[in-house]
Chains A and B, each alone.
Chain A
Amino acid sequence: MLDRLAFEVYEQHLDFSNMAFISIQPRGLPLGKRLVQKLSNLVPDQEILHGAMDVTFYRDDFRRRDEVLVPSATELEFSVEGKEIILIDDVLFTGRTVRSAMDALLDFGRPKNVELLVLIDRRFSRELPVQPDYTGRIVDVVKDERVKVEWTADDSNNRVILFSSDQ
């Protein structure tokens, strides 16, 4: 699945010189790392920019939950001004995280364009008009079930699990 995603991105963008990949923290980061690794194997002579962005402060559910959301680190070592950006996250669900990620991204500058890459698309549960440009797999899940992507350090046991919320 990862290989196919990497090829799809490669076919769309043969030149990575004005591109950057930004993983949405925290769960987009392992996916982003592996994808960028695969891409750099495809184009060994090009440097691929990869950053991580935390969107906690931009979320719209702050003060609507019982727990305070604890942020992760943002590491963007490059300017996004004028770049073609691909946002990366593991599961696309309501679209609200991606909305806040776009807000956060625009605070760093004005990218040329922004695309969205996700591993899992829960397609019937969107609350905002957000669609991915690259999808690993589409799953149809009812709303109160949960989808979780798990990575192991050596990639031996990566898996996507589906479980109901009372579990």
Chain B
Amino acid sequence: MTKLSTKHLLGIKNITTEDIHLIFQTADNFKEVINRPIKKVPSLRDITIANIFFENSTRTKLSFELAEKRLSADVVNFSASSSSVKKGETLVDTVNNILAMKVHMVVMRHPNPGACMHLQRHVDCSIVNAGDGAHEHPTQALLDAYSLREKLGDLTGKKVLIVGDILHSRVALSNIFCLQKLGAEVRVCGPATLIPKHIESLGVRVMLNLKEALLWCDVANMLRIQLERQDIQYFPSLREYTMQYGLSSKLLKEIGKDDLIIMHPGPINRGVEVTTDIADGKHSIILDQVENGVAVRMAVLYLLAGQAKST
């Protein structure tokens, strides 16, 4: 197996467990590369990649851009706020115009779920999903699982808890698919209003009490409360959320689990999902996640680009 089963990375749901392992194996090599004095390899020097972001992003965009540059690809950036999308151009037209300028790959974030899937049917290039609405965020899930694999080894049978706003979270859905494909057991925990109705059909158990849930798990992935998506009141106040579902060192001490691993996809609302001493403490692997993000994205781009034979 030296090839991904797909031409695009649209979601974790569409790739196989072997694909995930191949990506991880390649990411190991790139992790070594980005720790060298010269952090750049010439693999993708004849490739141009367009980063198309219809939604704001700092970490993901920066991480993709760094990954592309460290592979020596040429990068063009595009953000919707300053573009002809404002003038009423459709998504397919926008992307086809970009492709007409001889771009090989597209990395896209879009607020609508399924935007990448739609695009894939209409344009001829490799597409990497960098988040589509509340649907999937595959590279985030891959880097989360990669960081866990680094800490815990094989993920088979490991217990991972996802805490917070499951309803609006693309990270949660991709993480559930990815971790289940790697053999881990996943449960979610959060206010009942922020748990999607049919989540149990994915084989995920819902827990409403954070303390009980933490006693069960090996890893807690604390999702960000997406303040910009709280269009109706899902919980009475942020303070009440923090009291129920925020992680503090006091709570951690009560549980008495010294080997618990704390993750957060960022950006952190300090003092809401986790307190500052937890975010910076020894349990946290938040900055490892960011470092691995570049290596994992390099692996994804390298493997996808390598399949498209140049003509």
Collect the chain B residues with CB atoms within 8 Å of residue A62's CB. Answer: 43-44, 306
Interface residue A108 (Cβ < 8 Å from any Cβ of B)? yes
**Pick the contact of B26 from A67, A70, A107, A108 — CB < 8 Å?**
A70
Residues of chain B from 23 to 43 with CB closer than 8 A to chain A in the complex: 25-26, 28-29, 32-33, 36-38, 40-43
User: What's the least CB distance linking B115 to chain A, in Å?
Assistant: 27
CA–CA, A51 and B43, complex, Å: 22
CA–CA, A72 and B25, complex, Å: 9
* Residues B42 and A68 in contact, CB atoms below 8 Å apart: no
Collect the chain A residues with CB atoms within 8 Å of residue B22's CB. Answer: 70
* Residues B36 and A58 in contact, CB atoms below 8 Å apart: no
Residues of chain B from 12 to 59 with CB closer than 8 A to chain A in the complex: 22, 25-26, 28-29, 32-33, 36-38, 40-44, 46-47
Interface residue B308 (Cβ < 8 Å from any Cβ of A)? yes
CA–CA, A63 and B71, complex, Å: 14
CA–CA, A58 and B42, complex, Å: 6
A-B contact count (CB 8 A): 61
Collect the chain A residues with CB atoms within 8 Å of residue B205's CB. Answer: none
Interface residue A160 (Cβ < 8 Å from any Cβ of B)? no
Collect the chain B residues with CB atoms within 8 Å of residue A64's CB. Answer: 309-310
Interface residue B278 (Cβ < 8 Å from any Cβ of A)? no
Interface residue B92 (Cβ < 8 Å from any Cβ of A)? no
Interface residue B82 (Cβ < 8 Å from any Cβ of A)? no
A interface size (C-beta, 8 A): 22
Interface residue A145 (Cβ < 8 Å from any Cβ of B)? no
* Residues A68 and B309 in contact, CB atoms below 8 Å apart: no
* Residues B42 and A63 in contact, CB atoms below 8 Å apart: no
Collect the chain B residues with CB atoms within 8 Å of residue A153's CB. Answer: none
For A67, the closest partner residue in chain B by CB is B2
Given contacts A67-B3, A109-B37, contact A54 B29 (CB under 8 A): yes
Collect the chain A residues with CB atoms within 8 Å of residue B3's CB. Answer: 67-68
Given contacts A57-B42, A62-B43, A71-B29, contact A107 B36 (CB under 8 A): yes
Collect the chain A residues with CB atoms within 8 Å of residue B306's CB. Answer: 62-63, 68-69
Collect the chain B residues with CB atoms within 8 Å of residue A103's CB. Answer: 42
Interface residue A73 (Cβ < 8 Å from any Cβ of B)? yes
CA–CA, A66 and B310, complex, Å: 10
* Residues B25 and A70 in contact, CB atoms below 8 Å apart: yes
Collect the chain A residues with CB atoms within 8 Å of residue B217's CB. Answer: none
**Pick the contact of B41 from A57, A67, A68, A73 — CB < 8 Å?**
A57
* Residues A108 and B36 in contact, CB atoms below 8 Å apart: yes
Interface residue B303 (Cβ < 8 Å from any Cβ of A)? yes
Interface residue A74 (Cβ < 8 Å from any Cβ of B)? yes
For B43, the closest partner residue in chain A by CB is A57
For A65, the closest partner residue in chain B by CB is B309
User: What's the least CB distance linking A24 to chain B, in Å?
Assistant: 15
A interface footprint on B284-311 (CB within 8 Å = 1, 0 otherwise): 0000000000000000001101111110
For B38, the closest partner residue in chain A by CB is A107
Collect the chain B residues with CB atoms within 8 Å of residue A108's CB. Answer: 36-38
Collect the chain A residues with CB atoms within 8 Å of residue B2's CB. Answer: 67-70
B interface footprint on A31-63 (CB within 8 Å = 1, 0 otherwise): 000000000000000000000001011100011
Collect the chain B residues with CB atoms within 8 Å of residue A57's CB. Answer: 29, 33, 41-43, 71, 302
User: What's the least CB distance linking B19 to chain A, in Å?
Assistant: 12
For B298, the closest partner residue in chain A by CB is A57
CA–CA, A68 and B303, complex, Å: 7
For B33, the closest partner residue in chain A by CB is A57
CA–CA, A68 and B204, complex, Å: 35
CB-defined A-B contacts under 8 Å, sample of 23? A54-B29, A57-B42, A58-B41, A58-B42, A58-B43, A62-B43, A63-B46, A63-B47, A63-B308, A64-B310, A67-B2, A68-B2, A68-B3, A68-B302, A68-B303, A68-B306, A69-B2, A70-B22, A71-B26, A74-B29, A74-B32, A104-B41, A108-B38
Binding site for B on A (CB under 8 A): 54, 56-58, 62-74, 103-104, 107-109
6 tightest Cβ-Cβ pairs between the two chains A and B:
A68-B306, A57-B41, A107-B38, A71-B29, A57-B43, A63-B310
